[in-house]
């Protein structure tokens, strides 16, 4: 099955004249790592492709982007429409359904191109794709992509044959999706890390670029949220924080500044569920994390219009922002009755 899929992918790439690599809305390290990792792999074998992001790439991940062939919605909208319509192969990475690309979902659904999915989220929308690589037993899409690329005939299992740029991108996606090796680390995750370090990927430089380049505003925002905003609910082993538009303005909030904040409360002894709510003009973005057997995927599906993984999920709320605390307290109360 695996070999058959690899051969099919190789054939699609060989035949593909115009290849588009699609990231998800609010691209994170795994989204940017997997799209740029695949891009660099294709470059190595003289195949041009274009990366499309449905929203802006946060500053701390921009070092992974190639100098050209990157399109971002909304500013490159016209080029994105043309690129998707002209593509004969579309590869979707790190999301399980077109809806995760928000404004691009109809373009993708209507495209006549062959479509490939490479992803690690549960319940992939397999009917929308000609070829699906879906595995939830990996740290990240980058880990799955590493397995795929090293299985390709051009690489033949020898990680040294991957370009430095590919290795660096895949390492970043794995490192960020495991929250720096603190969750979803599988035995092969460390094998992959080991092989990438052996081939020269500079983990200290990456660590510094990704986790050591925050703005002062972001640090102060984190301090403020932890000290004045976090609500601790020991009776439910839970904690949550809320980031309003007003506070975003106060702390000169930039895209991606809240990255990782949802994990902070899990360091409190006994806390097994953490939630983070970010207000935007259109809706409230929900991030959920848990420890052990508690499934925030189920929690999100039941109360937050979303899903994801067992220990990491997202969602959306369409309620007044000041109602979030009461909404969360009721939701966790209900959830804890059955879980
Ligand atoms: Mn991911």
DSSP string of 288-302, one letter each residue? EEE-TT--HHHHHHH
Ligand 1 geometric centre to CA of 173 (Å) = 7
**Gap from CA of 309 to ligand 1 centroid (Å):** 9
CATH class of 2-211: alpha beta
Encode pLDDT of 13-52 as tens digits.
999 999 999 999 999 999 999 999 999 999 999 999 999 9
Provide the 8-state DSSP code for 71: E
Give the mean pLDDT of the chain.
96
pLDDT in tens, 277-311: 999 999 999 999 999 999 999 999 999 999 988 99
Of the pLDDT bands very low, low, confident and very high (cuts 50, 70, 90), residue 252 is: very high
Q: Say whether 245 sits in a helix, a strand or coil.
A: helix
The environment of the single-atom ion ligand 1, i.e. residues with CB closer than 5 A, is: 30, 94, 140-141, 177
Break the chain into its structural domains and give their ranges.
2-211, 216-338
Residue 126 confidence (pLDDT): 97
Average pLDDT over residues 77-96: 98
Assess whether the region 2-211 and the region 216-338 belong to the same CATH fold.
Answer: no
Please compute the mean of the pLDDT values over residues 254-259 and round it to a whole number: 89
Rounded Cα gap, residues 91 and 38, in angstroms: 9
Distance between Cα 94 and ligand 1 center (Å) = 5
Order of strands, edge to edge, in the sheet holding 89-93?
70-72, 49-53, 19-22, 89-93, 114-119, 131-134
Matching CATH number, 216-338, of 3.20.20.70, 3.40.50.720, 3.10.310.30, 3.30.465.10 = 3.10.310.30
Judged on CB neighbours under 10 Å (0-12, 13-18, 19+), 268 is middle
Ligand 1 centroid, distance to 30 Cα (angstroms):
5
pLDDT digits (tens, 9 = 90+) for 109-152: 999 999 999 999 999 999 999 999 999 999 999 999 999 999 99
> What's the pLDDT at 102?
95
pTM above 0.85, yes or no: yes
Instruction: Return the closest-CA partner of residue 175 out of 191, 189, 158.
Output: 189
pLDDT above 80 for 323: yes
Name the residue among 250, 163, 173 with its Cα closest to residue 200.
163
Q: What separation in Å is there between the alpha carbon of 250 and the centre of ligand 1? A: 30
The predicted model gives 169-185 an average pLDDT of: 95
Among the residues of the chain, which ranges form H helices? 2-15, 29-44, 77-86, 105-110, 141-151, 164-177, 187-198, 203-211, 216-224, 245-250, 261-264, 296-303, 324-338
- Residue 183 is predicted with a pLDDT of 87
**Residue 339 pLDDT > 90:** no
State the distance from the centre of ligand 1 to the C-alpha of 29, rounded, in angstroms: 8
> 138 C-alpha vs ligand 1 centroid, how far in Å?
9
How far does the centroid of ligand 1 lie from the alpha carbon of residue 235, in Å? 31
């Amino acid at each position: 099955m695996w070999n058959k899929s690899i051969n099919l992918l190789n054939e699609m790439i060989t035949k593909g004249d115009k290849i588009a690599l699609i990231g998800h809305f609010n691209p994170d390290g795994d989204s940017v790592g997997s799209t740029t990792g695949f891009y660099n792999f294709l470059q190595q074998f003289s195949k041009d492709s274009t990366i499309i992001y449905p929203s802006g790439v946060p500053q701390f991940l921009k070092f992974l982007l190639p100098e050209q062939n990157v399109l971002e919605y909304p500013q490159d909208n016209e080029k994105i429409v043309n690129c998707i319509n002209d593509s004969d192969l579309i590869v979707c990475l790190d999301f399980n359904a077109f809806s995760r690309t928000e404004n691009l979902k109809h373009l993708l659904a209507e495209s006549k191109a062959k479509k490939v999915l490479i992803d690690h989220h549960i319940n992939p929308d397999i009917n929308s794709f000609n070829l699906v690589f879906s595995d939830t037993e990996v740290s990240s899409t980058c880990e799955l992509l590493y397995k795929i690329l090293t299985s390709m005939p051009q690489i033949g299992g020898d990680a040294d044959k991957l370009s430095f740029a590919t290795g660096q991108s895949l390492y970043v996606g794995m490192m960020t999706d495991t929250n720096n090796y603190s969750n979803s680390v599988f035995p092969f995750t460390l094998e992959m890390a080991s092989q990438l370090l052996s081939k020269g990927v500079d983990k200290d430089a990456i660590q510094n670029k990704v986790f050591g380049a925050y703005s002062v505003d972001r640090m102060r925002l984190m301090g403020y949220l932890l000290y004045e905003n976090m609500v601790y609910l020991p009776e439910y082993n839970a904690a949550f924080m809320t980031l309003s538009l007003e506070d975003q303005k106060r702390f000169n909030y930039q895209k991606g500044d809240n990255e990782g904040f949802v994990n902070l409360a899990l360091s409190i002894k006994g806390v097994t569920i953490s939630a983070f709510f970010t207000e935007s003009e259109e809706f409230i973005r929900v991030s959920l994390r848990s420890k052990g057997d508690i499934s925030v995927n189920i929690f999100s599906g039941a109360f937050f219009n979303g899903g994801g993984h067992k220990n990491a999920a997202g969602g959306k709320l369409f309620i007044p922002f000041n109602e979030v605390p009461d909404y969360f307290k009721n939701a966790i109360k209900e959830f804890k009755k059955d879980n």
